[in-house]
Amino acid sequence: MTVMIDGRQTAAKIRSELAKKAEVLKNQGITPCLAVILVGDDPASQVYVRNKKRAAEKIGIETKDLHLSAQTAQSELLELIDSLNDDPSVHAILVQMPLPKHLDENEVINAISPKKDADGLHPKNLGHLFMNEPQALPCTPRGIMVLLAEYDIGVAGKNVVIIGRSNLVGRPLAAMMINVDATVTVAHSKTKNLPEIAKNADILVVATGRAEMVDQSYVKKGATVIDVGINRLPDNHLVGDVDQASVTGVAAYLTPVPGGVGPMTIAMLMQQTLELAEKSK
Ligand code: NDP
């Protein structure tokens, strides 16, 4: 039997706790505020931004909506970030990725004050994570760690295989797993014999952006499979990077898509905003 890990329910529980924290902060005279910058009109990014703003409002986090045209110059975007860095009413800054091609994403991430780094992707914060002195953390990997804890899935001493080495997911997740004593393998598109390596995993995390790539030939019986992928098929259907039908019955635990890692990413963004607001005191 495969237990489906319910990210929606876990995220809802976290959000209700966060709403109480937001109330406490407000009573102390701090209204937590997340500035959300969206450049251009990418429909998927618009949906992500709308969902994040909705989640914030429900918790009692104020949002500052900054929608810039697709033609915005790098210098203009950097100036906006600078002004938000200096604005004491803003506690966290999120720049929705991907940015239009003419903009330099790394320079933009670097420009955000590490103290207002909602997504936890600033090199300084990634450095703290790698030194096991975590400050602001990347939201998707953090959400995965919280989901595992919620389902009492131990990590210490386990073989963890992460397929995908992006700065957003794979690399920071590897650091988080090492920090809690897992034995970690990070695989990518150049990895040889991937199914064989993946089959060693007690916990297999898949973040490739390749729809339903991982089937049961990658999964050890009784493993935990975390599917990070979000892929929209031509028929508008959402699927993960794992072939859920194939893996069901082999894995002991599996995250569904949608309703697994996705809601946790947003919950962690909210948690981080409140933590940054609290630290601003
Ligand atoms: P990237 O495209 O940045 O990275 C993909 C990684 O997967 C790369 O390291 C790449 O290897 C590797 N890869 C690609 N194809 C293969 C393959 N055939 N075999 C092995 N490795 C492969 O993606 P992201 O990390 O940003 O996102 C991954 C997925 O997670 C996407 O579907 C995205 O939509 C989703 N996502 C979901 C979130 C959520 O909240 N649920 C949040 C963020 C992302 P190489 O480095 O060699 O190119």
Q: Which domains does the chain have, with CATH numbers?
A: 29-113 (3.40.50.10860), 139-262 (3.40.50.720)
Read off the amino acid at residue 209: G
Which atom of ligand 1 approaches the CA of 190 most closely? Answer: 47
For residue 225, the model assigns a pLDDT of 99
pLDDT tens string 240-274: 999 999 999 999 999 999 999 999 999 999 999 99
pLDDT per residue as tens, the chain (281 positions) = 999 999 999 999 999 999 999 999 999 999 999 999 999 999 989 999 999 999 999 999 999 999 999 999 999 999 999 999 999 999 999 999 999 999 999 999 999 999 999 999 999 999 999 999 999 999 999 999 999 999 999 999 999 999 999 999 999 999 999 999 999 999 999 999 999 999 999 999 999 999 999 999 999 999 999 999 999 999 999 999 999 999 999 999 999 999 999 999 999 999 999 999 999 98
Cα 8 to ligand 1 centroid, rounded to whole Å: 22
For residue 281, the model assigns a pLDDT of 83
With b meaning 16 or more CB within 10 Å and e meaning fewer, what string describes 79-117? Answer: ebbeebbeeeebbbbbbbeebeeebeeeebbebbbbbbb
Tell me if residue 96 is catalytic. Answer: yes
Which atom of ligand 1 approaches the CA of 208 most closely? Answer: 7
Tell me if residue 52 is catalytic. Answer: yes
Contacts of 132 (CB under 8 A, 6+ apart): 179
